[in-house]
Amino acid sequence: MTSMSPALRQYLIITGNYWAFTLTDGALRMLVVLYFYQQGYGALAIAMLFVFYEFFGVVTNLLGGWLGARIGLNRTMNIGLGVQIVSLAMLLVPAAWLTVPWVMLAQALSGIAKDLNKMSAKSAVKTLVSGDAAQGRLYRYVALLTGSKNTLKGVGFFLGGALLSWLGFSGAVMLMASGLALVWLLSLVLLQQALGKAKNKPKFRDIFSKSRGVNILSAARLCLFASRDVWFVVALPVYLSSHLGWDNWLVGAFLASWVIAYGVVQAVAPWLTGRGKNAAGIPGRTAAVSWAGLLMLLPALMALMLYQGGSPQLWLLGGLWLFGAVFAVNSSLHSFLIVHYASEDGVSLDVGFYYMANAAGRLLGTVLSGVLYQHYGLNACLLFSSGLLLLTFAISWALPRQ
């Protein structure tokens, strides 16, 4: 570490923080879904557990970007780690206290923590890699950060299912809280002071982006992530458990392997998006439109095959792998474009606004996942996903040409 440049050293510390947080976040998501399903909760009730998680993610991204520009991204990242530890500690109460309102409150804190951490990590990369000549390297750095995060989130899904079987709910939460506390203490010592702090303190009204590119990309991002979560967050794990008879281990392992593969594809997205690059050698509107159009077809095809009596093992599970690969490229493209579009000074303002839209999409998808699955089944979730991707495709045409 001592032989590295200061910028690279900070990038590694930021990435390490992001990895540790993501591991606990993925494990906690799987723990809550599986534990409360075992307690007899339906799909809609489980979805409601995450409503505050997603809602406060919307609020946090909007305000967190402004806060990061004023006090520095190092502080917002460390605040996020601390709040996640409090969220985990809230779940260590006796089982009788784990009511829906209490878990929703704990998930609200977890949502605040997650989006403070993510906004800080993504914004900080822009401050470490700047200049027009370095945009290709910026794309690779963002893709690596995003892809590795999702790979670790997949490991977290597996970890959540495994720890629930080995240690029970309370034991798993205690182990995660202890590990994250150690990471938090190291981060307080090692992370550079005043990272990403704006030269001129932004006013509160600056939380809303004034950039046309950022606004259009944010709208596309909202629809993109709603299209994934409308069937992936609640409907899919419950379907695998109730219709295919999978146990906790198998559900956790399958979803973990999917997210790990998804993260790997995100990390290598710069090598997959050769077409659609502009004159500067980086991907732009053409790439975003093309990949969104391809993704739009997949959920509709899966729903059609299942409606006609096709094998779920072939069309649902096989389609899920293809959907994950194409979705990963779309997500990685968007993650690069927002950092690329963002203003150099006070970068977290634009990034926070964008991830506010991301969180709003997850919130919409999570609620719809529970409602549609409970009343109409998995096929309705898939068709709604395809409709949301049609909106993503249409909105992406309005992105800046350059």
Q: pTM to 2 decimals?
A: 0.73
- Over residues 46-56, the mean pLDDT reads 79
Q: Higher model confidence: residue 139 or residue 318?
A: 318
Q: Higher model confidence: residue 197 or residue 8?
A: 8
Per cent of the chain over pLDDT 90 is: 16
pLDDT band at residue 305 under the 50/70/90 scheme: confident
Confidence at residue 274, expressed as pLDDT on a 0 to 100 scale: 60
The three-state DSSP-derived secondary structure of the chain is CCCCCHHHHHHHHHHHHHHHHHHHHHHHHHHHHHHHHHCCCCHHHHHHHCHHHHHHHHHHHHHHHHHHHHHCHHHHHHHHHHHHHHHHHHCCCCHHHCCHHHHHHHHHHHHHHHHHHHHHHHHHHHHHCCCHHHHHHHHHHHHHHHHHHHHHHHHHHHHHHHHHHHHHHHHHHHHHHHHHHHHHHHHHHHCCCCCCCCCCCCCHHHHCCCCHHHHHHHHHHHHHHHHHHHHHCCHHHHHHHHCCCCCHHHHHHHHHHHHHHHHHHHHCHHHHCCCCECCCCCECHHHHHHHHHHHHHHHHHHHHHHHCCCCHHHHHHHHHHHHHHHHHHHHHHHHHHHHHHCCCCCHHHHHHHHHHHHHHHHHHHHHHHHHHHHHHCHHHHHHHHHHHHHHHHHHHCCCCCC
- CA angle 80–84–85, rounded 5-degree value: 120
Confidence at residue 283, expressed as pLDDT on a 0 to 100 scale: 74
* The amino acid at 276: G
**Each residue's pLDDT tens digit, 76-111:** 888 889 999 999 999 998 888 888 888 888 988 988
Is a pLDDT exceeding 90 seen at residue 294? yes
**Each residue's pLDDT tens digit, 324-355:** 899 989 988 888 888 777 765 556 677 777 87
Confidence at residue 13, expressed as pLDDT on a 0 to 100 scale: 79
Least confident of 67-76, 150-159, 176-185, 224-233: 67-76
Is a pLDDT exceeding 50 seen at residue 358? yes
Is a pLDDT exceeding 90 seen at residue 297? yes
pLDDT band at residue 119 under the 50/70/90 scheme: confident
Is a pLDDT exceeding 90 seen at residue 394? yes
Confidence at residue 174, expressed as pLDDT on a 0 to 100 scale: 92
CATH architecture of the domain covering 6-196+205-396: Up-down Bundle (1.20)
Mean pLDDT of the chain: 80
Least confident of 6-10, 28-32, 288-292, 398-402: 6-10
In this structure, are residues 116 and 58 in contact, taking their beta carbons and an 8 Å threshold?
A: no
Domain residue extents for the chain = 6-196+205-396
Is a pLDDT exceeding 70 seen at residue 378? yes
**Each residue's pLDDT tens digit, 214-267:** 888 889 999 999 999 898 877 888 888 887 878 767 877 788 788 888 888 888
